[in-house]
């Protein structure tokens, strides 16, 4: 069952978090997009100037302490003013997929994120985090990368995904891909794990364990309702290793 991954969808000691827009002079539509994109995360959202960070920025606070700062422009480009087509068409390439720190540092918590038509923004966070981990793997160039696509045809049918994995497969990475076998991937230089069960249809994960001792990363998501995902990501070495071991044993 897909819910075999649910064992990893629980929070452990997550601090109280606030996302705060530093420049209170932002146009109202930007503020509305901010709320639309991040209002479902279960963290505090503040539109007031809290006296920290540079103008035109967003800060992430944990228990009142600033832990990350990102420009509003980076959030516009990554989430606020784009849709998933930016990532699937791949016009900017994997190197152009900048993930704002205020999003990547929201690790450890469990989120419920909706796709279209319920939301045009929430699911983008999973795409941003997937590209972030893939880029980390590309820059490292060695280690093991496990990725679930639901349908393996996405590796060929989505130009951005195709370009990303062409780059990844030219490295020394040991790449494993998972999904429903709805296309022939016989010539791809990755280890293909195919299945038609709900486990393959409803799982979304990107797990990278580097070879050289760098920080690992894992995104895990399970589709519990139509285009609605429960998800988390982590950089904890023990937790990432446990997720990878589970995937190796269960898929």
| Total tally of structural domains belonging to the chain | 1
Query: 182 pLDDT exceeds 90?
Result: yes
Global pTM? Answer: 0.92
Give the tens place of pLDDT for each residue, 25-38: 666 677 788 888 88
- Predicted local distance difference test score (pLDDT) of residue 77: 87
Note whether residue 216 is domain-resident. yes
Give the tens place of pLDDT for each residue, 194-206: 999 999 999 999 9
Instruction: Quickly count: other Cβ atoms within 10 Å of residue 105's Cβ.
Output: 15
Instruction: Quickly count: other Cβ atoms within 10 Å of residue 251's Cβ.
Output: 20
Query: 144 pLDDT exceeds 70?
Result: yes
Note whether residue 26 is domain-resident. no
Residue 128 is part of a domain; what is its CATH number?
Answer: 3.30.870
Note whether residue 151 is domain-resident. yes
Q: Domain range spanning residue 185?
A: 2-14+83-250
Q: For 10-24, 61-75, 106-120, which range has the lowest pLDDT when averaged over its residues? A: 10-24
Note whether residue 185 is domain-resident. yes
- Predicted local distance difference test score (pLDDT) of residue 32: 80
């Amino acid at each position: 069952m897909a819910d075999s991954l649910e064992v990893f969808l629980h929070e452990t000691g997550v601090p109280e978090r606030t996302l705060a827009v530093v420049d209170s002079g932002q146009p109202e539509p930007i503020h509305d997009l901010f709320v639309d994109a991040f209002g479902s995360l279960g963290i505090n959202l503040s539109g007031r100037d809290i006296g920290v960070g540079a103008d035109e920025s967003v800060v992430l606070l944990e228990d009142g302490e600033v832990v990350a700062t990102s420009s509003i422009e980076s959030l516009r480009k990554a989430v606020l003013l784009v849709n998933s087509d930016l990532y699937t068409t791949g016009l900017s390439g994997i190197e152009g997929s900048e993930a704002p720190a205020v999003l990547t540092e929201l690790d450890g918590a469990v989120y419920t994120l909706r796709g279209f038509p319920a939301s045009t923004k929430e699911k983008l966070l999973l795409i941003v985090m997937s590209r972030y981990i893939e880029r980390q793997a590309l820059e490292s160039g060695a280690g093991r990368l496990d990725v679930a696509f639901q349908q393996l045809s996405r590796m060929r049918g989505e130009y951005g995904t195709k370009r990303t994995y062409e780059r990844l497969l030219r490295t020394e990475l040991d790449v494993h891909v998972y999904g429903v076998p709805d296309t022939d991937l016989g010539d791809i230089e990755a280890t293909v794990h195919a299945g038609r069960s709900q486990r393959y249809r409803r799982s979304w994960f990107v797990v990278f364990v580097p070879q050289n001792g760098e920080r690992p990363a894992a995104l895990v998501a399970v589709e519990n309702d139509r285009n609605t995902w429960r998800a988390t990501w982590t950089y904890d070495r023990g937790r990432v290793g446990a997720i990878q071991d589970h995937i190796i044993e269960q898929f």
